[in-house]
Structure 1
């Protein structure tokens, strides 16, 4: 099925590409149609297109509604959004931020990709080449700009790989969070574990400074990003991440005598006695 002008998508909130491509760094790794499998070298029909992404924020491309979320052996975690007669599937996700039934607008953050993003598109139930759909979106964006409208929305995107002081221990920390993070939140909530005063004060200072410098509401707020933070706030996000991860590790040391395997014995003693 080929795209025709009658299939043009109409959206009051404007249009947005699924992700922002910076300096040409995102490459299409597999096209639509007959392809050679990169592992088996066998010919097969590819029903979508693949992009090399790593934890990119994915956005709604127009006015729509989340029509499906699920998981499959082939596509992993996937999310489907209906835009009029179009239905677009994002697959191989790490997170689906917009839940089933959520109404979205162009630029709303809806998901986070994994190491690759597989996109499939149907129009009125018939599969089409996603590149034709993306070309239509891009054309609509150019038309709006030529008419004097800004990109709708003209957003700064966040990459999810926010650098922290704990990047070398990321896998170990994630394993500890899977096991202990709910308990940590529960104890913080009921007051049985108190966040150190210096941590609370640091967070207050960071958010106060961010408000003064207008880091909040830099972009259109959404359910997934209620403060509307954009790329300028990346250093702030990194500082907050450092504080929150550090406090979680502090909790593990005090409550469970658990430490990162990379800590020296001297550092372990400091953490186990730190108020």
Structure 2
């Protein structure tokens, strides 16, 4: 690998949960804004050594690439908010983040959401403490993904969910809703955080009522909490979980209509007017 290191087979990353690229390309390709190594500063024109790579990824969901643990979250004047995850001997840092979504010390699997990028993603990689070119690391990841697919595996795993079949009012539109979430969900979270979009009081009050009722009925911590199920919700709470899902999906669709003028294709003109 670049950076005075030669790639050997023992450097291949092992991961029981599979592998995942750091982000899903929205338009089929992502522009490399700045490469690794000796570079010319895009603003000053001066020469400098770039210790990572920069991608043009405005508000992208950033994922864990394999089995790992969040080993650092910090901020500095050069790279802003950053999050580092350790995968075996590798340490991968995402920087210039709009938000960190995983807490320090969290154990993660391939595909778990770690953060939301800002206007670009700065990425650095170290192996056994020594800096390497992130492109070489990503090339290895892509090779592992390709090999898994050739062996009949999908490569990128599904996101973790509670082991329950939870019906919602949007089951018939599931594929379209998921597609819209891939495009707009980072913006939705960001605009809520910055106060540009406010959750309607009805939705907020309904959620408060649901969680109060759940606490009274001892729905929480029925099973041992985990990263995928931090409240320990069991099968008894399925009706409550369904109500929460309905409210959250409804609010996301409300945001799309209000901020972007985007509606489900199955919604008629009367439905749009109601929204």
Normalising by structure 2, report the TM-score.
Answer: 0.62
Q: Structure 1 residue 161 and structure 2 residue 184: aligned?
A: yes
Aligned to 2:244: none
- Taking the aligned partners of 1:13 and 1:135, their CA distance within structure 2 comes to 19
- Taking the aligned partners of 1:62 and 1:110, their CA distance within structure 2 comes to 12
Cα 1:174/1:85, change in 2 over 3 Å? closer
Cα 1:20/1:222, change in 2 over 3 Å? farther
Runs of at least 5 residues in structure 1 that lack an aligned partner in the other structure: 192-220, 227-235, 247-275
**In 2, are the aligned partners of 1:70 and 1:79 still within 8 Å (CA)?**
yes
**In 1, are the aligned partners of 2:59 and 2:186 still within 8 Å (CA)?**
no
- Taking the aligned partners of 2:137 and 2:185, their CA distance within structure 1 comes to 31
Report SS of the residue matched to 1:161. helix
Aligned to 1:201: none
Aligned to 2:251: 240
Aligned to 1:151: 155
Cα 1:58/1:222, change in 2 over 3 Å? farther
Cα 1:124/1:241, change in 2 over 3 Å? same
Matches within 5 A, 1:82-93: 82-93=86-97
Q: Structure 1 residue 43 and structure 2 residue 47: aligned?
A: yes
Q: Offset at 1:32?
A: 0.2
Q: Offset at 1:34?
A: 0.4
1:96 equivalent among 96, 100, 104? 100
Aligned CA RMSD, in angstroms, stands at 3.9
- Taking the aligned partners of 1:109 and 1:173, their CA distance within structure 2 comes to 17
Deviation per CA, 1:104-138: give whole Å up to 9, x if none: 00000111001100000000000000000000000
Q: Structure 1 residue 74 and structure 2 residue 74: aligned?
A: no
- Taking the aligned partners of 1:222 and 1:6, their CA distance within structure 2 comes to 31
Matches within 5 A, 1:26-65: 26-65=30-69
Aligned to 2:135: 131
Cα 1:176/1:187, change in 2 over 3 Å? farther
Matches within 5 A, 1:115-130: 115-130=119-134
- Taking the aligned partners of 2:20 and 2:208, their CA distance within structure 1 comes to 42
Report SS of the residue matched to 2:184. coil
**In 1, are the aligned partners of 2:203 and 2:251 still within 8 Å (CA)?**
no
- Taking the aligned partners of 1:73 and 1:161, their CA distance within structure 2 comes to 28
Q: Offset at 1:149?
A: 1.6
Q: Offset at 1:173?
A: 9.6
Aligned to 1:19: 23
Cα 1:140/1:88, change in 2 over 3 Å? same
**In 2, are the aligned partners of 1:55 and 1:159 still within 8 Å (CA)?**
no
Report the count of equivalent residues: 202
Aligned to 2:117: 113
- Taking the aligned partners of 1:132 and 1:138, their CA distance within structure 2 comes to 10
Runs of at least 5 residues in structure 2 that lack an aligned partner in the other structure: 160-177, 210-226, 234-246, 258-275
Q: Offset at 1:223?
A: 6.7
- Taking the aligned partners of 1:172 and 1:11, their CA distance within structure 2 comes to 34
Deviation per CA, 1:158-195: give whole Å up to 9, x if none: 4463599x9xxx98994577xx99x999988889xxxx
